[in-house]
């Protein structure tokens, strides 16, 4: 297609990065790496076929730069680190137009600063995991979603899709409010077109995107475009706990939060003894901490085998007493039974369900692990004048209503961004699709 | 706005044209000319204010180049001739993208030929009425409806408009079918944006556009754009008769039909004795023939007063025995009561209702008048090699399905255009907005 893609310049890599696209990996091993821990894969054969030819499949994941990215972003990014290690050419769509439409009070200029902030952060996260981001491409929606070709395709799609199918496709992602907006019906189609215009072989998202994904599989071929594969992550409840504190803006952990704030927020997180269903703290261990700990272990093993130093390598989330098979440890005083070691998430879940693992002990371990994850990101932020400047522009301090009114009589773009629904959004960690009219917390 | 408008080159004026934007007309007289015979005017004060300043208001009328324009086009064009005489700077939007979306089987290239054919025809009609078209601008939808600015505005609008309001706005124009298409919800918004992008002060259409017009009045200001005036024509039933023969492709009079075909078609038109409600033949007299006859009378009077020759001027639709006040005559043999003369449409309606005027006599008079209207258009067509070439491209002779299949196995754009729903469309004379999934005849 004739769309013009504006790639934003990659960040300077300040951390030492080892290339992890291991050329020794077989096609089967790559496919296993790409699809592990996913809840569902549609048209996986398409990816297998590309791998069998020794080529790099192209993937795409979209995120709308609305509020401030929080710790939930580790969930898709941990999976994306698998993709990158398996040699996927990955595109991150920063859906600036969707973000703008989601809350038109924030002007496009502010959204463009946030778009840059998102890229800084996403690269910093992946680099902190030791994942090279040279096969990661950032594309802003506005670089092609306003083009002539894209819009004609959008019109063509709208002249093929029934209202009913569009509504059904967005049912999980677009909040069903009393008076739904027309844009909610457009989003599924636009997301389908993005697959074509970003030239991907698969789209990745949370399982809440399933209907949007099957919609794309049905309708893209009707426009003469290829059907893509779809890879879906499990939904992970927010760290703050699904139902309890979505309306409490203090409960979300910002990726730049200092250790004491992280500790405080996790301490107040919902993590009920024996409850493994609605437990964001526990889920975060399975979706993020254990995979990252495994990755760290593998690196140390590789270095040890090669006889090189392991001093600079990040440590797995295990204690010194852990057996070699363990990937996650909970430190406990001897009087409470001593350390607990786990090699699979199922073991942790079982212990928690049977109340052998106490929420207080889990929270301490998770706090330490998260702080070890955030430390290099904070460091990178502190060292980058450019990033710090962008942060100020992207999230300016709220101006009080009185102050504002004194200065100007007519203000069409109220400045305090990140307030209201955007602040409350993102309680679940797979919230890539644009939402509209998000009501408080009723999911 | 930053939209780029591609104006297509005006046709060579082969007919002698007198400028009818009479500078001696007062603002009040112009307003009267602009609004006479309309069923409804919204925000007329806006037009009055522009006229009061001695300026030329800008108007817009849209038509989608789907099928072949038929004689029903005389209805809006007769009104547009009033606008032009009153000094309106008139834009005709040839909505090529809408036409393409309406029936995606016809490729865009074919639509572009039809767009040119429409312009030839519309100019020829107005010129045959002696109306100068130098203040008439033709704009194709594709020249700006795919632009970045327009599409961002479309997205902004969709993020402001509820599904409910969009559906309500299109209820009269977009056919309510079992499984309505998403495009039907977009059209009202696009038509509203057209007002802004065409830079008009008012939009003109049939009264069936009322909900779309009030939708535009409500939503354009929410995007920061001005509310426009809206001028609405009465709906005129098709010449073929509303209910009886919409499915009969032979019942519509093409603007290039020769006299004997016109005669045949009017002869078979639905025109029930005493029925003035569903009577396209009668309605055509009121909406087209009497206004044109009046115009011709005025011209002859002006020439006579000025002492210039009236030989080249077209004659009004009256017989020689008509009194000076008459604008329409029905010729009848003395044995049936002799000629009938009317100065207002109400008089004809009354006579027809009271069965003093027989359908057969009415049909003969209408046939003669229509043939006198079409003669200069046919002449212009016959004399223009360019127009004839465009006609061949725009409406290529149908290729039989057997022929087609023999040549190529995979054909995505079946060539016989103007068949099926497009052929059946346009039964009413104010069908400017795109229709979708037009069912047979159930209105």
pLDDT of residue B21: 55
| Mean pLDDT to the nearest integer, A187-209 | 96
CA dihedral B318, B373, B364, B343 (to 10 degrees): -30
Chain B environment of A96 (Cβ under 8 Å):
none
- Which residues, in sequence order, are CB contacts of B94 under 8 Å at separation 6+? B62, B63, B64, B65, B115, B118, B119, B138, B139, B140, B141
The nearest CA of chain B is from the CA of A101 a distance in Å of 6
pLDDT of residue A403: 53
Task: Choose from A148, A151, A159 for mutation: most chain B CBs within 10 A.
Answer: A159
pLDDT digits (tens, 9 = 90+) for B21-63: 566 789 999 999 999 999 999 999 999 999 999 999 999 999 9
Chain A environment of B102 (Cβ under 8 Å):
159
Is the CB of A182 less than 8 angstroms away from the CB of B180? no
Instruction: Give the predicted TM-score (pTM) of the model.
Output: 0.82
3-class SS of residue A51: helix
Please give the residue that has the higher pLDDT: either B89 or A237.
Answer: B89
Chain A environment of B181 (Cβ under 8 Å):
158-163
CB pairs under 8 A between A and B: 91
CB B203 within 8 A of CB B230: yes
The nearest CA of chain B is from the CA of A13 a distance in Å of 35
Chain A environment of B164 (Cβ under 8 Å):
179
Please give the residue that has the higher pLDDT: either A236 or B256.
Answer: B256
Is the CB of A160 less than 8 angstroms away from the CB of B152? no
Check residue B288 and report its DSSP letter.
I
CB B282 within 8 A of CB B348: yes
Pairing mode, strands B229-233 and B40-42: antiparallel
Q: Which residue of B has its CA nearest to A152?
A: B146
What domains, with CATH codes, occur in chain B?
27-235 (3.40.50.620), 259-385 (1.10.240.10)
User: Which residue in the set A102, A161, A183 is minimally distant from B158, CB to CB?
Assistant: A183
**CA pair distance A193, A219, nearest whole angstrom:** 9
Chain A environment of B101 (Cβ under 8 Å):
155-156, 158-159
To 10 degrees, what angle do helices B183-197 and B148-158 make?
A: 130
Token pair in block for residue A280: 């964001």
Chain A environment of B104 (Cβ under 8 Å):
156, 159-160
**CA pair distance A355, B367, nearest whole angstrom:** 94
pLDDT of residue A4: 32
Pairing mode, strands B202-206 and B229-233: parallel
Is the CB of A162 less than 8 angstroms away from the CB of B182? yes
| Mean pLDDT to the nearest integer, A317-329 | 94
The nearest CA of chain B is from the CA of A143 a distance in Å of 10
pLDDT of residue A134: 83
To 10 degrees, what angle do helices A108-128 and A385-394 make?
A: 140
Task: Choose from B104, B159, B223 for mutation: most chain A CBs within 10 A.
Answer: B159
Q: Give me Rg for the CA atoms of chain B.
A: 22
**Chain B residues contacting A via beta carbons under 8 Å:** 97, 101-102, 104, 146-148, 151-152, 155-164, 166, 179-186, 189, 224, 412, 436
Is the CB of A412 less than 8 angstroms away from the CB of B224? yes
**CA pair distance A246, A442, nearest whole angstrom:** 9
CB B206 within 8 A of CB B426: no
Is the CB of B162 less than 8 angstroms away from the CB of A185? no
Is the CB of A160 less than 8 angstroms away from the CB of B148? no
**CA pair distance A383, B136, nearest whole angstrom:** 63
Is the CB of B180 less than 8 angstroms away from the CB of A162? yes
Q: Which residue of B has its CA nearest to A189?
A: B182
Start-end of H helices in B137-289: 148-158, 163-170, 183-197, 210-219, 259-267, 280-284
User: Which band of pLDDT confidence, cut at 50, 70 and 90, is reported for residue A251?
Assistant: low
User: Which band of pLDDT confidence, cut at 50, 70 and 90, is reported for residue A441?
Assistant: very low
User: Which residue in the set A102, A159, A186 is minimally distant from B181, CB to CB?
Assistant: A159
Token pair in block for residue A287: 């979706």
pLDDT digits (tens, 9 = 90+) for B243-294: 433 345 566 899 999 999 999 999 988 899 999 998 999 999 999 999 999 9
Q: Which residue of A has its CA nearest to B108?
A: A152
Helices (H) and strands (E) in chain A, counts: 17, 8
Strand partners, A60: A91, A203
Is the CB of B162 less than 8 angstroms away from the CB of A182? yes
ipTM: 0.81
Task: Choose from B182, B421, B435 for mutation: most chain A CBs within 10 A.
Answer: B182
Is the CB of B181 less than 8 angstroms away from the CB of A164? no
Q: What is the mean pLDDT of chain A?
A: 83
Token pair in block for residue B180: 């309505």
Half-sphere exposure of A191 (CA within 13 A, CB side): 35
Is the CB of A183 less than 8 angstroms away from the CB of B155? yes
pLDDT digits (tens, 9 = 90+) for A173-187: 877 677 889 999 999
**CA pair distance B288, A216, nearest whole angstrom:** 50
CB atoms inside a 10 Å sphere around CB A172: 16
pLDDT digits (tens, 9 = 90+) for B350-374: 999 999 999 999 999 999 999 999 9
End-to-end alpha carbon distance in chain B: 39
CB A432 within 8 A of CB A92: no
Q: Which residue of A has its CA nearest to B179?
A: A162
Give rounded-to-5 percent helix, strand, coil for chain A: 50, 10, 45
Task: Choose from A96, A155, A174 for mutation: most chain B CBs within 10 A.
Answer: A155
Start-end of H helices in B88-182: 96-102, 108-128, 148-158, 163-170
DSSP for A242-266?
A: TTTSTT-GGGSPBTT--HHHHHHHH
CB B197 within 8 A of CB B144: yes
Chain B environment of A184 (Cβ under 8 Å):
163
| Mean pLDDT to the nearest integer, A48-64 | 96
Q: Which residue of B has its CA nearest to A144?
A: B148
Within chain B, which residues score under 70 in pLDDT?
Answer: 1-23, 105-106, 176, 240-251, 399-443
**CA pair distance A164, B182, nearest whole angstrom:** 8
The nearest CA of chain B is from the CA of A265 a distance in Å of 35
**CA pair distance B297, B318, nearest whole angstrom:** 10
Q: Report the candidate in B93, B34, B37 with the shortest Cα–Cα distance to residue B61.
A: B93
Chain A environment of B159 (Cβ under 8 Å):
101-102, 104, 181-183, 436
Asked whether the predicted pLDDT for residue A341 surpasses 50, the reply is yes
CA angle, A431 then A432 then A438, to 5°: 50
Task: Choose from A182, A186, A221, A223 for mutation: most chain B CBs within 10 A.
Answer: A182
Asked whether the predicted pLDDT for residue A322 surpasses 80, the reply is yes
Is the CB of A146 less than 8 angstroms away from the CB of B152? yes
Q: Give me Rg for the CA atoms of chain A.
A: 22
Helices (H) and strands (E) in chain B, counts: 17, 8
Q: Report the candidate in B237, B240, B243, B218 with the shortest Cα–Cα distance to residue B228.
A: B218
Percent of chain A with pLDDT over 70: 81
Chain B environment of A182 (Cβ under 8 Å):
157-159, 161-163, 166, 185-186, 189
The nearest CA of chain B is from the CA of A247 a distance in Å of 24
Q: Which residue of B has its CA nearest to A166?
A: B182
Chain B environment of A161 (Cβ under 8 Å):
181-182
Q: Which residue of A has its CA nearest to B160?
A: A181
């Amino acid at each position: 297609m004739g769309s013009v893609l504006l790639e934003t310049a990659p960040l300077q890599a300040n951390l030492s990065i080892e290339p992890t696209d291991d050329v020794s990996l077989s096609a089967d091993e790559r496919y296993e790496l790409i699809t592990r821990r996913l809840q569902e894969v549609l048209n996986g054969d398409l990816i297998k076929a590309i791998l069998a030819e020794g080529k790099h499949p192209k993937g795409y994941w979209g995120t709308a730069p609305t509020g401030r990215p929080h710790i939930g972003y580790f969930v898709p990014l941990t999976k994306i680190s698998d993709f990158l290690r398996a040699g996927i050419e990955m595109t991150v769509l920063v859906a600036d137009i969707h973000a703008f439409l989601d809350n038109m009070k924030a002007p496009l200029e502010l959204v463009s600063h946030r778009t840059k902030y998102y890229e800084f952060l996403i690269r910093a996260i992946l680099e902190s995991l030791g994942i090279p981001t040279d096969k990661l491409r950032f594309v802003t929606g506005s670089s092609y979603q306003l083009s002539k070709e894209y819009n004609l395709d959008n019109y063509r799609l709208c002249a093929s899709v029934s209202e009913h199918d569009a509504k059904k496709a967005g049912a999980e992602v677009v909040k069903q409010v009393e008076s739904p907006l027309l844009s909610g019906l457009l989003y599924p189609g636009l997301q389908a077109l993005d697959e074509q215009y970003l030239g991907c072989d698969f789209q990745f998202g949370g399982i809440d995107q399933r209907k949007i994904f099957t919609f794309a599989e049905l309708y893209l071929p009707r426009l003469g475009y290829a059907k893509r594969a779809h890879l879906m992550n499990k939904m992970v409840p927010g760290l703050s706990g699904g139902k309890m504190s979505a309306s409490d803006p203090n409960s979300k952990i910002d990726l730049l939060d200092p250790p004491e704030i992280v500790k405080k927020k996790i301490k107040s997180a919902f993590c009920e003894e024996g409850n493994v269903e609605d437990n964001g703290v526990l889920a975060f261990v399975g979706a993020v901490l254990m995979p990252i700990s495994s990755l760290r272990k593998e690196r140390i093993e590789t270095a040890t085998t090669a006889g090189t130093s392991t001093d600079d390598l990040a440590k797995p989330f295990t204690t010194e007493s852990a057996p070699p098979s363990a990937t996650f440890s909970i430190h406990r005083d001897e009087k409470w039974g001593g350390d607990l070691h786990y090699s699979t998430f199922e073991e942790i879940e079982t212990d928690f369900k049977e109340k052998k693992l106490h929420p207080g002990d889990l929270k301490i371990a998770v706090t330490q692990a998260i702080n070890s994850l955030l430390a290099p990101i904070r460091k990178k932020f502190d060292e980058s004048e450019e990033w710090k400047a962008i942060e100020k522009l992207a999230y300016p301090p709220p101006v009080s209503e009185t102050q504002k009114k004194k200065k100007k009589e007519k203000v069409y773009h109220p400045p305090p961004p990140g307030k209201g629904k955007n602040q409350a959004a993102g309680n679940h960690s797979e919230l890539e699709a644009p939402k509209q009219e998000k009501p408080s917390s009723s999911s």
